Amino acid sequence: MSNILSIKDLYVDVGDTSIVNGLNLKISSGETHAIMGPNGSGKSTLAKAIAGHPDYKIQSGKITYMGNDLSALSIEERSNLGVFLGFQYPIEIPGLSNTAFLKAAINAKRKYHGMDELSASEFLVDLKEKSKMMDIEQSFLSRGVNEGFSGGEKKRNEILQMLMLEPTLSILDETDSGLDIDSMKVVASGVNAFRNKKTASLIITHYERLLNYITPDYVHVFHDGAIIKTGDIQLAKDLEERGYEWLTNP
């Protein structure tokens, strides 16, 4: 087991407001961590700060990913080194086909690692298999990136991208929100397929339901930009029953 992500005393500002306040978190390979917390507590802010979004400024503290200080790496370098963010609100890129987009992403990563471009046939075989697993019809792949996709389709498309890019650390920001029960199972199976000894996931969610399919090793409660409690799946069940009050206002 090796260290994948380590966050030390992290403070993140959006504009003039401090949103993440003194966060500490360690994730090792093979682990799945869940983060739960009230709306506006800074979960997405943390995810975007790890991915390197320019609007989310690290004021102090340090994020280390596989031995690299992330603040020294560009957004695309972080991605190419294996950081994947499944967006809470995946954006649409009209006219740019999902296939062309995925191919560009995969080849960017290969180029970064000094590899040749993936052949069209290899790419298509892989894409076909994984899109089937995500229950995404072939016709969706030639549509624009997320263009006119339903909420659930966008989320499954995020997981498809994750499976295609084979990251090391996958941060999934409310990938389960707005999913029907069948889609939830599909998403969970995708996440489980991604799990292995070398990878790690950080799953941001509001519902214990997803965690029944993806059993996390740790459950963290996020509040006002910091982790206020850590437990296992039982903690998620308690939250489901009792809400956050008992933790945030003891």
Partner 1 sequence: MSDKDNKNKEINEFLNKSYEYGFTTEIESETIPPGLDEDVVTLISKMKNEPEFLLKWRLKAFRHWKKMPQPDWAKLSIDPIDYQAISYFSKPKQDDGPKSLDEVDPKLLETYEKLGIPLHERAKLAGVAVDAVFDSVSVVTTFKDKLAEAGVIFCSFSEAAIDYPELIEKYLGTVVPIKDNYFAALNSAVFSDGTFVYIPKGVRCPMELSTYFRINEAKTGQFERTLIVAEEESYVSYLEGCTAPMRDENQLHAAVVELVAHKNAEIKYSTVQNWYPGDEEGKGGIYNFVTKRGDCKGENSKISWTQIETGSAITWKYPSCILRGDNSTGEFHSIALTNNLQQADTGTKMIHLGKDTKSKIISKGISAKSSQNTYRGQVTMSKGAKNSRNFTQCDSLLIGSSAGAHTFPSIDVMNSSSILEHEATTSKIADEQLFYCMQRGISEEDAIGLIVSGFCKEVLNELPMEFAVEARALLQVNLEGAIG
Ligand X SMILES: Nc1ncnc2c1ncn2[C@@H]1O[C@H](COP(=O)(O)OP(=O)(O)OP(=O)(O)O)[C@@H](O)[C@H]1O
User: 227 Cβ partners below 8 Å, 6+ apart?
Assistant: 23, 24, 25, 35, 220, 221
Find which of partner 1, Mg ion, ligand X, none residue 228 binds, CB within 5 to 8 Å per kind.
none
In whole angstroms, the minimum distance from the beta carbon of 69 to ligand X comes to 23
Write down the H helix ranges in 113-149. Answer: 120-133, 138-141
- Catalog residues that contact ligand X under the rule CB under 6 A: 14-15, 19, 37, 39-45, 55, 88
Q: Count the site residues for Mg ion by CB under 5 A.
A: 3
In whole angstroms, the minimum distance from the beta carbon of 5 to ligand X comes to 18
Binding mask 41-60 for Mg ion (x = CB under 5 A): --xx----------------
Q: What is the DSSP letter of 74?
A: -
Dihedral, CA atoms, 178, 181, 187, 192, nearest 10 degrees?
A: 140
Residue pointed to by tokens 């090796």: 2
Amino acid (one-letter) located at 61: G
Is the Cβ of residue 39 or residue 119 nearer to Mg ion in the bound state? 39
Cα(134)–Cα(88) distance, integer angstroms: 18
Is the Cβ of residue 101 or residue 213 nearer to partner 1 in the bound state? 101
**Would you say 202 and 169 are in contact if contact means Cβ atoms under 8 Å apart?**
yes
Is the Cβ of residue 41 or residue 161 nearer to ligand X in the bound state? 41
- Catalog residues that contact partner 1 under the rule CB under 8 A: 51-54, 74-76, 79-80, 84-85, 87, 90-91, 93-97, 100-101, 104-105, 108-109, 112, 144-145, 161, 165
Residues that bind Mg ion (CB under 5 A): 43-44, 88
